[in-house]
Amino acid sequence: MVAALVQQRGFRQKNGRTARGIKALDIDLTTLPGPVRQAADWALQGWEIARQWLLSPAAWSQFALLLTAFALAWLVTRRLRPVLSRALTPEDESSGLLASLRLFLLIFVPLLLPVLAYLLTDVGEGLIRALFGSGAVIAFGKRLFLFLAARILVREIVTDPFLKLIGRMILLPVMALYALGILEPATQFLSDTTIALGNIRFSALSVVRGLIAGSVLFWLGRWSNDRTGGYIERQEMRPATRQLAAKAAELTIYGIAFLLLMNIIGVPLASLAVLGGAIGVGLGFGLQKIASNYISGVILLLEGQATLGDFVELDNGVSGTIVRTTARAMILETFDGRWVVVPNEDFITTRVVNYSDQGSSNRFEVPFSVSYDTDINRVPAIIEEAVATHPAILDSPYPPDCELRGFGDSGVDFAVEFWCNGHDDGPNKFTSDVGFLIWNRLKAHDIEIPFPHRVVELRQTGPEAA
């Protein structure tokens, strides 16, 4: 660190050389703002250290060691990296724990150069310190190699977009400050800078620490939630139970992440009890509907009355397929492409018709009529045979059934009943297809479909009529 190096060489802020450097530059640091004055002080200290390194034989020897270590690491990496890549790359059809471990190690092969340079420099550091009693340049070089390793990690190894953004915005600046030796002064400066919001005061370092920890924790929460959700989806259980387990795991993971974040920032967990009490009072007075919908959603998941993919019709006539469930409501997609948000409470307190019921079949019917001149004893067999040819018509629980419904004004009324999976709307056109089948089969057997006949009688009165 710069402060330690300054003390080792006798370059304090108020010493003679620094004062002469300030006077030579004709700069009055007392007239500058606080952050600018601090940055200028660090710059002058860095200039003094750099000048001392340039004029010191011990520093030149350490520079030579760093260059030698880097050149040797580059030569070894050039020969060793292809060998490691071939050795760690698994065969095309190989799988299992060993293959996964080899792929994991293969990811970190680009770190070979800075790691080797760091290790070789560390080996020579003891000899240099024994000869010259100083190793500031070597310490700077080792930190520089760690910065290069972090840069390679962010650019070549990390593939997740969010982690790559964190690496660029947070990890690389922190490693750059560490390499320059000013990480501790910068941390102390942020710790001394306070931010006030009313009666609440906290340091800028707490804000930075909270942003970093929050980003990492909630990314880990999302990653854990995705893995947990995938594991739950592979289990053999009812869809409603899977969904409830996934929601419970999500709440648990993010709840733990929130508590850890509060602890890292420094917010006492006892204060959360007061916040929980306030939320409870709010639920009791102003958030009754939200609480009711949330509890109704849990009941729906437990009982499995309505889940994703079910086609439901509410008591108010709204119908559609459940495409999404939230803690507050269910979202229905109608056949005209509209999304309808229905509170969970409506599924508990009102009448709901579930046409899907976890994949069960539904019964439909198509009415038709034949002429009174037809031998009606032939009709059921003809129609049942025709309807059974449709690929979506089921034989279970019952095959197609043609029934005589009555004797109408123009013809004999029939209706054919059949079972299908799904609802007769949108992509499914069961009744329309069956209507075509009935028409074509009746025409093929010369069976007439009647139409109404009317007799109109015209009456005239008066002399012309007589």
The answer as to whether 136 is a domain residue is yes
**What's the start-to-end Cα distance of the chain, in Å?**
130
Q: Are residues 211 and 67 in the same domain?
A: no
Give the CATH number, domain containing residue 366. 3.30.70.100
The answer as to whether 450 is a domain residue is no
Q: Are residues 8 and 134 in the same domain?
A: yes
Q: Are residues 184 and 208 in the same domain?
A: no
Q: Which two tokens stand for residue 232?
A: 């739950």
Among 267, 294, 319, the domain-final residue is: 267
The boundaries of the domain holding residue 310 are: 305-354
Q: Are residues 244 and 388 in the same domain?
A: no
Q: Are residues 190 and 322 in the same domain?
A: no
Q: For the chain, give percent helix, strand, coil, nearest 5.
A: 60, 15, 25
pLDDT digits (tens, 9 = 90+) for 291-339: 777 788 777 777 767 777 788 888 877 888 888 877 778 888 887 778 8
Q: Are residues 252 and 339 in the same domain?
A: no
What pTM does this model have? 0.45
Confidence of residue 186 (pLDDT cuts 50, 70, 90): confident
Q: Are residues 326 and 387 in the same domain?
A: no
pLDDT reported for residue 10: 40
Contact 435, 380 (CB under 8 A): no
Q: Are residues 231 and 365 in the same domain?
A: no
Q: Are residues 410 and 343 in the same domain?
A: no
Task: Specify the long-range contacts of residues 125-134, CB closer than 8 Å, at least 24 apart.
Answer: 125/65, 128/58, 128/61, 128/62, 128/65, 131/61, 132/58, 132/61, 132/62, 133/58, 134/8, 134/58, 134/62
Q: Are residues 155 and 183 in the same domain?
A: yes
The answer as to whether 414 is a domain residue is yes
Q: Are residues 370 and 342 in the same domain?
A: no
Contact 11, 49 (CB under 8 A): yes
The answer as to whether 384 is a domain residue is yes
Confidence of residue 156 (pLDDT cuts 50, 70, 90): confident
Q: Which two tokens stand for residue 371?
A: 């002429």
Distance from C-alpha of 63 to C-alpha of 135, rounded to nearest angstrom: 10
Whole-number mean pLDDT of the chain? 75
The answer as to whether 287 is a domain residue is no
Q: Are residues 109 and 190 in the same domain?
A: yes
- Is the pLDDT at 18 greater than 50? The verdict is no
Contact 343, 327 (CB under 8 A): no
The answer as to whether 110 is a domain residue is yes
Burial class (CB in 10 A: 0-12, 13-18, 19+), 107: middle
Q: Which two tokens stand for residue 383?
A: 């129609």
- Is the pLDDT at 369 greater than 90? The verdict is yes
The answer as to whether 232 is a domain residue is yes
The answer as to whether 461 is a domain residue is no
Q: How many domains does the chain have?
A: 4
Distance from C-alpha of 110 to C-alpha of 118, rounded to nearest angstrom: 14
Give the CATH number, domain containing residue 339. 2.30.30.60
pLDDT digits (tens, 9 = 90+) for 209-221: 777 777 777 777 7
pLDDT reported for residue 398: 87
Q: Which two tokens stand for residue 66?
A: 């760093």
